Amino acid sequence: MPPLKRLPIGEIHDQPWCPRVIRDAVTDFLQYAANHWGQYTPLLPTLCYFLQRVNAPRIVDLCSGGSGPWQRLYGTISRAFGDSFRIVLTDRYPNLAAFRLARDLSGGVLDFRDKPLDACAIPQELLGFRTLFGSFHHFDPAAARGVLQNAVDSGQGIGIFEMTERRALTMLAMLTAPIFVLLHAPKIRPFCWSRLFLTYLIPVVPLLVMVDGIASCLRSYTVEELAELTGSLTGAPYEWEIRKLASPSSPFPIIYAIGCPKAEGRG
């Protein structure tokens, strides 16, 4: 069955007018979910392979939200690339409390940039392999191409990883999101009384996770659309691996696109 038509529906927690306390509560849950269920763990061998290919000085994680899946993934990266290797968390709306906790829990392997960062205009001094977990769909096609083109123009590798699709089954699964928020909210760290208030007394967070989850599905890119975006880039030749990967901890596959500068002598 073909995917539904892509709709340019913006997530509420991604809007500039969304109160920080609500945005952070949503991204805190998304971080908890990614680490608790480990949906992105199957990507580690592929990610490590490309990091070795480009000999990246660090990972620059874009649109990190509440720190994404890194609390679960950083240990493998650190063992593979050494204690000095760093993963820098960034976001347009930095969740600083979550970033500080991630840094403390990782012993400094996870670091962060405390100022807002535009994923389409990364400063030249912030070199490293760029990653986006569950966030690339936030960008419309023009901006999405801008994120990719900026990586190519800077000669940096980039990896895009998504677990949402424009399919009815995926969107139906989002209807269960409030149940998981209600069950797990007290376990989320850093602990925050406002999150519990906005979950149980005024259930803004459970409803917003569900509504924004459905919007995320409707905005997601297919493998074919990612191939079209990467094929439209200009500049130095890049190699791209774009595919779906099964995740044992999720009923839905990971859709990913990883690109890096083409090595000399490769066709």
pLDDT, residue 266, reads 59
| Residue at 267 is within a domain | no
Whole-number average pLDDT of the chain: 94
Say if residue 201's pLDDT is above 90: yes
pLDDT, residue 178, reads 97
| Residue at 229 is within a domain | yes
| Residue at 6 is within a domain | no
In the structure encoding, which two tokens stand for residue 182, read together? 């209600």
% of the chain surpassing 90 pLDDT: 90
d(CA 95, CA 34): 16
CA distance readout (Å), 105 to 7, 89, 132, 177: 38, 14, 21, 27
Domain count, the chain: 1
Strand order in the sheet with 58-61: 110-112, 86-89, 58-61, 129-133, 158-162, 254-261, 238-245
| Residue at 165 is within a domain | yes
pLDDT, residue 264, reads 66
How large is the average pLDDT for residues 145-152?
97
16-47 pLDDT, tens digit each = 999 999 999 999 999 999 999 999 999 999 99
Under 8 Å between Cβ of 65 and 89 = no
How large is the average pLDDT for residues 141-168?
96
Under 8 Å between Cβ of 132 and 62 = yes
Q: What φ, ψ does residue 25 adopt, rounded to 5°? A: -65, -40
> Poorest-confidence range of 145-159, 181-195, 238-252?
238-252
pLDDT, residue 249, reads 80
Say if residue 195's pLDDT is above 80: yes
Can you tell me whether residue 86 is helix, strand or coil? Answer: strand
CA distance readout (Å), 260 to 9, 26, 89, 159, 240: 30, 32, 20, 9, 7
CA distance readout (Å), 114 to 88, 154, 222: 10, 22, 32
pLDDT, residue 250, reads 83
243-263 pLDDT, tens digit each = 999 888 888 899 999 999 987
| Residue at 198 is within a domain | yes
pLDDT, residue 234, reads 96
* CATH number of residue 159's parent domain: 3.40.50.150
- For residue 145, name the pLDDT band (cuts at 50, 70, 90): very high
How large is the average pLDDT for residues 57-61?
96
d(CA 40, CA 259): 18
Helix (H) or strand (E) holding 209: helix 204-219
Q: Of 143, 57, 40, nearest to 92 (Cα)? A: 143
Q: Of 162, 144, 140, 146, nearest to 217 (Cα)? A: 162
- For residue 3, name the pLDDT band (cuts at 50, 70, 90): confident
% of the chain surpassing 70 pLDDT: 99
Under 8 Å between Cβ of 87 and 56 = no
pLDDT, residue 52, reads 94
| Residue at 1 is within a domain | no
Whole domain around residue 172: which residue ranges? 12-261
- For residue 265, name the pLDDT band (cuts at 50, 70, 90): low
76-125 pLDDT, tens digit each = 999 999 989 999 999 999 999 999 999 999 999 999 999 999 999 999 89
pTM of the model: 0.95
